[in-house]
Amino acid sequence: MTTVNIITQGRRKRRPFGSQGVGTAAPYIIPALLLYGWFLLYPMLDSIRLSFYQWSGFRTETPTWVGLDNYKRLFTEDAVFPTALLNSVIWVVLSLILPTVIALLMALGLNQKIIGRNVMRAIFYIPAVFASITVAAMWRWIYNPTLGFVNQLLEAVGLESWTQSWLGDPKFALASIFVANIWQAVGFSMVLFLAGLQTVPEELMEAAKLDGANAWQRFRAVTVPALRPTTVVVIILTIINSLKVFDLVVGMTGGGPAQSTQVLALWSYTQSFTNHQFGMGGAVATVLLIVTLAIVIPYMAWSLKGEDK
């Protein structure tokens, strides 16, 4: 972990050398700021603006100001919005538990010198490089009611009664998509945890061993504290990625059956582009933005604060 070392050393001196001012900095930051402002920041802010209008999205029609009407409709009339909000929350919570814990266990296991660990690491990571939309297509086939692997397997072992239309039944659809998500998501978190495990101080581990600490005590007292910064990163990235979930749902159910697998990101998109209600889409997007910022800003404050000490 040379990179981490460089960072620790460098932090002794915190003030950048020289004070050349905005003029010197401008050529370096202007390209990035132009792109960022034009194609990211402006669309985000415009979504908030649109949430106060009614608009079909067609250029021939001018948006009409409706004040908070879209939000009123969102929380009182829109039957899908509560499902989408709840599903997004469920997705975040489940993602923090299942894939994260599995990834940590994989990383701890693969941090040992064991036979075949490079092969195993590759197997766990490969799903992460597939496009989510292709993962969705793969798993749609695995869940196929008649020819899919899951039902075929259940039949083969005599559990015909357990066979389901996995993606066609509102009771199972979200969970079925989530299983595909676990398969795809663990690899990245595992790599982060593996990198974090390289920062566990070897001497401390040896000292604890000499003092007679058992494996669990060493894990609690040495490994866990050393992994704390990594864990924060994994948790934040997991939350962010969970709020972004879109491709998997589009590819596996499109939000159905009966909108039971809708999530905020997809519902905003559907309202804007399928239902031609850019105002309502903007309102859903604004809710999603508020949820995201409520999580991101404290993390950013924590993350950038370390630089100033």
Partner 1 sequence: MTAIASSPQLATHTRKRPVDWTGIALWIALAVTALLWFLPLFLMFMTSVKSKADLNTSAMWALPGTWEWGNYADALDVGNFWVTAGNSLLIAAIKVPLGLAIAAACAFALARIRFRGARSLMLLIAIGSMVPIQIGLGPLFNTMLNLDLLDSKFGLILPYLAFGIPYQIFVLYGFFRGIPHELEESARIDGSGTFRIFWQIILPLAKPALAALFVLDFVATWNEYAMATTLLRSQSNWTIPLAVQGFSTQHGTDYGPLNAFIFMSAIPVLIVYLLFQRYFVQGALAGAVKG
Q: Which residues within the stretch 190-249 sit at the binding site for partner 1 (CB under 8 A)?
A: 191-192, 194-196, 199, 205, 209, 214-216, 218-219, 223, 229-230, 233, 236, 240, 243-244, 246-247
- Binds partner 1 by CB under 8 A, chosen from 127, 145, 168, 257: 127
For residues 54 and 64, what is the distance between their CA atoms, to the nearest angstrom?
Answer: 5
- Binds partner 1 by CB under 8 A, chosen from 71, 81, 124, 178: 124
* Per-residue contact string for residues 85-104; x = within reach of partner 1 by CB under 8 A: -----------------x--
CB of residue 170 to partner 1, shortest distance in Å: 21
Stretch that binds partner 1, among 66-74, 78-86, 106-114, 167-175 (CB under 8 A): 106-114
In whole angstroms, how far apart are CA 230 and each of 10, 178, 195? 20, 24, 8
For residues 216 and 196, what is the distance between their CA atoms, to the nearest angstrom?
Answer: 18
User: How far is CA 268 from its chain centroid?
Assistant: 17
CB of residue 55 to partner 1, shortest distance in Å: 9
CB of residue 40 to partner 1, shortest distance in Å: 4
Q: Is 252 in the site for partner 1 (CB under 8 A)?
A: no
Query: Any residues with CB less than 8 A from the CB of 136 and at least 6 apart, and which?
Result: 180, 247, 248, 249, 250, 251, 252
CA 191, 192, 197, 199 dihedral sign is positive
Q: Is 157 in the site for partner 1 (CB under 8 A)?
A: no
CB of residue 30 to partner 1, shortest distance in Å: 9
For residues 223 and 213, what is the distance between their CA atoms, to the nearest angstrom?
Answer: 13
In whole angstroms, how far apart are CA 283 and each of 38, 55, 66, 70? 21, 12, 12, 6
For residues 91 and 69, what is the distance between their CA atoms, to the nearest angstrom?
Answer: 28
Q: Is 132 in the site for partner 1 (CB under 8 A)?
A: yes
Stretch that binds partner 1, among 64-72, 74-82, 139-147, 165-173 (CB under 8 A): 139-147
- Binds partner 1 by CB under 8 A, chosen from 60, 62, 67, 114: 114
Q: Are 219 and 24 in contact (CB under 8 A)?
A: no
CB of residue 38 to partner 1, shortest distance in Å: 7
